[in-house]
Amino acid sequence: MYDIVILGAGSGGYATALRGAQLGLKVALIEGDKLGGTCLHRGCIPTKAYLHAAEVADTVKESEFFGVRSEFGGVDMNRVGEYRDTTVNQLYKGLQGLVKMRKIDLINGWGKLTAKDTVTVDGKEYRGKNIVLASGSYSKTIPGLNIEGRVITSEQALQMDWVPSKAIVLGGGVIGVEFASVWASFGTDVTIIEGLDHLVPNEDEAISKNLERQFRKRKINFKTKTMFESVSQDDSGVHVKTNDGNTYDGDILLVAIGRGPATANLGYEEQGIEMDRGFVLTNEQLQTNVENVYAVGDIVPGLQLAHRGFLQGIYVAEKIAGLDPQPIVESGIPRVTFCEPEIASVGLTQKQAEEQYGKDKIKTQEFNLAGNGKSQILNTQGLVKLVAIEDGPIVGFHAIGARMGEQIGEGQLLVNWEAYAEDVASIIHAHPTQNEAIGEAALALAGKPLHSA
């Protein structure tokens, strides 16, 4: 009998295992594929490797601006793939070493919940005083839109050994704009089709509009308020029809409409676990309605982010070990989209804050990166936006610009520690850094703008 049996070894599952073992618990970690899950092998890490390769391509193409003569000779996708795999494999080996060092029993095989305290793998039962469900997610598609041939998801896109001349991306959310950004840097003619009013529609509207302006400058095409209707494919490529009567032709169609919970046929419903559209429902302690059964990661309704699952895994392990961890506040989880320019945000958008507190109770401040020395050195555009309650704390941080994802740490602290603009304005931000932009926004919010009107 184990203290914890974990079904799924992605970010949430392996974090539960590592922290549980660290606290002296006997842990079994079950995974049908590879330790590390989607994030490490088919998501976050390989995608960000591609995005860095794209950044290097842009640097070469734009080097003349900085007085450096260079020539862009194209992209060797085989070499990009080797770089991707080397990065993934190094992290994979490190994770394997940690699991072995912590004496966690790693069981390779497809598990199924067969009792409230049992996961069965290839006919063998693994019983636990506590069960943690961490089965992850999969790339969704539209009913009737089959993933085959030239119609692909992000998993297939990451394995391509060629650069498409023309690509159509269905979905303007995080996955869609990241791949569009990569392909545009590699020389692809990209068109994004998005049904909602803006690209990255979950972000603050100021951020979405700024991204759209910068994508136009990069010649990344996009159609918002446009619904997919049908697709056909032949030897010449794919042909996508939309509800406005237009047809878009490309070499491939990337379906990037989000991810669904991977919970089908795993025995969850049979054991009485409450579900909603495939998601596992939990309370704020991440407990399901079945005693001693927990759930973490993408199968729990909310933000589908690796670091969310990771933190949830730590929380559950500490809860099972008898500690008293603080429940995770969803609105305090940071978000970064690694397209060019990068988007970083945490907390409430202006619209969300106005809906929650009232329009007259909210004040906002934007600082344009045109006034930031380091951003000008980097030749990037964008902004930092703070959302605050009148005479109260900052409740939202939003930023866009090259490398602005690296500023999410301070943004996260501002929101989660309920900082007041006056407090942030008095903190020294080193010069010349992009970090200064946060201080400048706080100064303006506090009524004493320095480098802005």
Please tell me the distance from the alpha carbon of residue 387 to that of residue 352, in angstroms, as a whole number: 10
- Residue 278, classed as helix, strand or coil, is coil
pLDDT at 234 over 70: yes
Please tell me the distance from the alpha carbon of residue 330 to that of residue 328, in angstroms, as a whole number: 6
Is residue 431 part of the annotated active site? The answer reads yes
Please tell me the distance from the alpha carbon of residue 69 to that of residue 73, in angstroms, as a whole number: 13
> Phi/psi class of residue 130: alpha, beta or left (left: φ > 0; alpha: ψ in -120 to 50)?
beta
Categorize the per-residue pLDDT at 453 as very low, low, confident or very high, splitting at 50, 70 and 90: low
Kindly state the tokens that stand for 170.
Answer: 């269905």
pLDDT at 451 over 80: no
Which residue from 87, 48, 56, 49 is spatially nearest to 73, judged by alpha carbons? Answer: 56
Confidence (pLDDT) at 114 = 97
Tens digits of residue pLDDT in 374-391: 999 999 999 999 999 999
Average pLDDT over residues 304-330: 96
Average pLDDT over residues 175-184: 98
Tens digits of residue pLDDT in 401-438: 999 999 999 999 999 999 999 999 999 999 999 999 99
pLDDT at 199 over 80: yes
The sheet that has 189-193: what strands, in order across it?
Answer: 151-152, 252-255, 166-170, 189-193, 221-223
Confidence (pLDDT) at 165 = 98
**Mean pLDDT (the chain, rounded):** 96
Given 52, 239, 431, 451, which residue is catalytic? 431
Confidence (pLDDT) at 449 = 80
Confidence (pLDDT) at 450 = 77
Categorize the per-residue pLDDT at 448 as very low, low, confident or very high, splitting at 50, 70 and 90: confident
Tens digits of residue pLDDT in 137-158: 999 999 989 999 999 999 999 9
Around Cβ 24, how many Cβ atoms within 10 Å?
A: 8
**Are the C-beta atoms of 28 and 6 separated by less than 8 Å?**
yes
**Are the C-beta atoms of 345 and 397 separated by less than 8 Å?**
yes
pLDDT at 74 over 80: yes
| Domains of the chain by start residue, with CATH | 2-138+260-330 (3.50.50.60), 151-257 (3.50.50.60), 341-445 (3.30.390.30)
Q: Are strands 275-276 and 279-280 parallel, antiparallel or unpaired?
A: antiparallel
